[in-house]
Amino acid sequence: MARAVAFGVAVLLAALPGQAQVYSDAPTQSPRGGSVELRLGSYRPQIDGEEGVSGGPFTDIYGEGRWWLFELELQRFFYQGIGTAGLSLSVGYAEKFGYALTKDKQTPSSERTSFHVVPLHLRGVYRFDYPAFQWGFPLIPYVKPGLVFVPWWATKGGKLDEAPATEGSEGSEGTPARKGRGVRFGWEVAVGLSFMLDVLEPRFARDFDSDLGINHSYIFAEYTYSKVNSFGQPGLNLSDSYWMFGLALDY
């Protein structure tokens, strides 16, 4: 009887390594082809800093505070090796409301005015994520240089038309502009640091991948320097430098 039990235990122990080997060889991650990012930050166009603008007409109407800017970005990866590289497209939205000025250009009136921007970005993306995937180091630096196009529109502006060569504005210098619109473009560079959330709950991360196809998730902080003045052409200066924070999901 004792010999039979010992033989059974030996057979069981011999079988365990084979089962473990089968499990380790099983695929543990779905293919990774891109990422989606949601981010929120603050933004303030440097319209009062345009050449030829005296005083601060934009600040007089909309105040000194920064605006909330929300953006959605889609990335497509073309290289995965010593880091990850690809291209991205993103769209954002920000708005600000104020009160138009009266004819003395000093006193706010009761007439509401608004200014809206929709930043569109075309960027290259490079993440140095090799240490994260090879050794589990959760911090991932990245850089995103690119081009930016910013459609804008304003309604019932009080002094907006005093900016030189404002596209689409109606009215003459010194008279209220009822509405204006246009597009400005330029270049930008964004740098950031991501924290891979997988390290906090590895089992949940694997389930997230197997159930939804989400390979990895991150939170990040990103700093953008943008020069949006149509490469020095007259008109609104929508440049700014700003921080954004968000969530990224690889798929």
Quick one: pLDDT at residue 162? Answer: 40
Q: In percent, how much of the chain has pLDDT > 70?
A: 74
> Which tens digits make up the pLDDT trace of 135-155?
999 999 999 999 999 999 998
Amino acid identity, residue 231?
Answer: F
pLDDT at 165: 40
pLDDT of residue 28 exceeding 90: no
Model confidence at 50, pLDDT cuts 50, 70, 90, reads confident
Does position 251 have pLDDT exceeding 60, yes or no?
Answer: yes
Work out the pLDDT band at 18, boundaries 50, 70, 90.
very low
Task: Give the pLDDT of residue 65.
Answer: 86
Identify the architecture of domain 36-250 in CATH.
Answer: Beta Barrel (2.40)
User: Which residues contact residue 91 at a Cβ distance below 8 angstroms, ignoring those fewer than 6 apart?
Assistant: 71, 72, 118, 119, 120, 121
Task: Please tell me the least confidently modeled range out of 81-90, 139-148, 163-172, 222-231.
Answer: 163-172
Quick one: tokens of 38?
A: 């949601």
Entry pTM = 0.76
**Would you state the pLDDT for residue 221?**
98
Q: How far is CA 215 from the centre of its chain?
A: 20
When pLDDT is cut at 50, 70 and 90, the band that residue 250 belongs to is: very high
Q: What is the pLDDT of residue 54?
A: 65
Question: Does the pLDDT value for residue 249 go beyond 60?
Answer: yes
pLDDT of residue 129: 95
**CA pair distance 114, 233, nearest whole angstrom:** 24
DSSP assigned state of 156: S
Is residue 111's pLDDT more than 80?
A: no
Going by pLDDT thresholds of 50, 70 and 90, the confidence category of residue 179 is confident
Q: What average pLDDT does range 210-227 have in this prediction?
A: 93
* Average pLDDT of the residues in 221-249: 95
Residue 2 scores a pLDDT above 70 = no
Q: Is the dihedral of CA 65, 68, 74, 80 positive or negative?
A: positive
* H or E element, residue 133: helix 130-135
Bin 242: left if φ > 0, else alpha if -120 < ψ < 50, else beta: beta
